[in-house]
């Protein structure tokens, strides 16, 4: 409690000095604003960091992939609702357009933009699938990397955001929420490794941004609506937000079963909602609810199904507006995690709840007065998911989110 109070005092002091210092760095702010307005930045600022993150963890499950290649496959699920869920943002896009709701582009401009985007997304994803040849966790084929479902879902969510995010940030949030659910489901059903869905998401976003950039070169101002983002950004507004998150959970600990054998989780997917209400530009309260899907490794063998868990946390949030478009943030939250049951060897792990806490840092980029993207890194600590084991479960969560501000 003392630590939280000290953090609050520090943030208040820093914030009170921030406004006084704001007038002293107009050149830095204007340079940053000019840099974020360039076509290259608009194309790369979200998707490229995501792809880099996915490639960075590509080799982390190499031992599990070797086990799968040797025939130690996880359970295969015949019912996979994400086969249909992936198209939901695209259905919403067409429904709005057919219904006569004005968006960013005319029909012709939108079709060309989306055609470029789809060709790039499918082309890159299929080329990588054929050339890499990674075996899926369930062993069905060697087309695991990257996730085509995730790439398509994030492509369609980004199309929906580009066309109708200018009408309401809730439309953008809804599209990216569906895309995150699709990505997490691909891991839940043992169809992909974490690196597959992260790179797939990045491909979908980057390809769509490139597709719209190419169409903009062709059409210039023709067929472009007056609804395109033009709101001025208020650096000192209260940054209350609601976001949909997709992240990778990297475990930092392992545990012992009752027979002395070792069990640990591999890199998993973390998807959820997060929000906070700010009393001023610097301090607020909020919380998060998340679902995690993590493969389980027992003595070098892949368990038949991943372990699912749910987490709910609440506490203090902090923010500082570096520029009108860029904010850095922190949080200190606590709550509970529920670990679902998972069969390992001849026994079970999970099936229990435990206290948990997280400390996190973030950087938020505002693309409009009410919408932005956020990168975050959280350190988590909680009770063990193994009955009878007293070692704390530690993890780091690294991810990104689409956020609306209110």
pLDDT > 60? residue 251: yes
Domain ranges of the chain: 1-37+236-406, 47-230
pLDDT of the residue at 361: 98
Roughly how many angstroms between the first and final C-alpha of the chain, as a whole number? 29
- Return the C-alpha torsion angle 212, 216, 217, 218, nearest 10: 100
Alpha helices in 23-106 (DSSP H): 26-36, 39-44, 47-56, 62-69, 82-85, 88-98
Q: Looking at the predicted structure, is the pLDDT value of residue 6 above 60?
A: no
Element (H, E) at 151: helix 148-164
Tell which residue, 77, 64, 73, has the closest CA to residue 189.
77
- CA separation for the pair 3, 8 (Å, rounded): 9
C-alpha closest to that of 361 among 331, 382, 334: 331
d(CA 142, CA 123): 17
Asked if residue 322 has pLDDT above 80, the reply is yes
CA pair distance 132, 125, nearest whole angstrom: 11
At 32 the pLDDT is 67
pLDDT at 213 over 80: yes
Q: Which two tokens stand for residue 37?
A: 């307005």
* High-pLDDT (> 70) share of the chain, %: 89
Check if the beta carbon of residue 257 is closer than 8 Å to that of residue 347.
yes
Q: What is the mean pLDDT of residues 79-83?
A: 88
Is there a contact between 253 and 274 (Cβ–Cβ < 8 Å)? no
Report CA 135 to chain centroid distance, whole Å: 24
Closest to 301 in 3D by CA, of 129, 63, 111, 107: 63
**Is 50 exceeded by the pLDDT of residue 1?**
no
Q: Which of the four pLDDT bands, split at 50, 70 and 90, describes residue 261?
A: confident
Pick the CATH number of 1-37+236-406 from 3.30.365.10, 3.40.1160.10, 2.40.160.20, 3.40.50.300: 2.40.160.20
For residue 210, pLDDT over 60 is answered with yes
């Amino acid at each position: 409690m003392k630590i939280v109070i000290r953090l609050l005092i520090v943030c208040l002091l820093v914030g009170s000095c921030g406004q006084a210092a704001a007038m002293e760095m107009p050149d830095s702010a204007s340079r940053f604003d000019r840099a974020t307005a360039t076509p290259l930045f608009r194309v790369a600022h979200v998707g490229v960091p995501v792809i880099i993150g996915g490639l960075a963890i590509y080799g982390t499950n190499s031992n599990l992939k070797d086990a799968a290649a040797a025939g130690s496959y996880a359970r295969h699920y015949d019912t996979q609702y994400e086969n249909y869920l992936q198209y939901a943002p695209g259905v919403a896009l067409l429904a709005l357009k057919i219904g006569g709701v004005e968006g960013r582009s005319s029909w012709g401009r939108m079709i060309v933009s989306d055609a470029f985007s789809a060709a790039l997304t499918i082309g890159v994803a299929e080329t990588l699938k054929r050339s890499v040849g990674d075996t899926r966790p369930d062993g069905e084929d060697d087309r695991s990397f990257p996730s085509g479902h995730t790439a398509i879902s994030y492509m369609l969510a980004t199309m929906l955001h580009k066309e109708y995010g200018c009408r309401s940030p809730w439309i953008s949030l809804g599209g990216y929420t569906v895309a995150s659910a699709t990505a997490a489901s691909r891991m839940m059903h043992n169809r992909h490794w974490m690196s597959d869905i992260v790179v797939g998401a990045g491909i979908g976003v980057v390809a769509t941004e490139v597709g719209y950039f190419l169409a903009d070169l062709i059409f210039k101002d023709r067929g472009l609506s007056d609804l395109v983002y033009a709101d001025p950004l208020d650096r000192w507004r209260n940054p209350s937000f609601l976001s949909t998150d997709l992240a990778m959970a990297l475990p930092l600990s392992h545990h012992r079963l009752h027979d002395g054998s070792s069990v640990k989780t591999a890199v998993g997917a973390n998807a959820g909602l997060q929000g906070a209400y700010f009393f001023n530009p610097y301090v607020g309260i909020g919380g998060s609810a998340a679902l995690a899907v993590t493969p389980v490794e027992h003595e070098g063998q892949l368990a038949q199904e991943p372990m699912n868990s749910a987490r709910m946390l609440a506490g203090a949030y902090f923010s500082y507006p570096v520029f009108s478009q860029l904010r850095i943030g922190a949080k200190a939250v606590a709550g509970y995690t529920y670990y679902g049951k998972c069969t390992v060897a001849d026994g079970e792990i999970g099936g229990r709840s435990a206290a948990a806490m997280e400390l996190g840092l973030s950087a938020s980029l505002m693309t409009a007065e009410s919408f932005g993207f956020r990168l975050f890194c959280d350190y988590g600590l909680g009770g063990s998911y193994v009955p009878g084991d007293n070692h704390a479960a530690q993890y780091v969560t690294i991810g990104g989110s689409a956020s609306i501000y209110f």
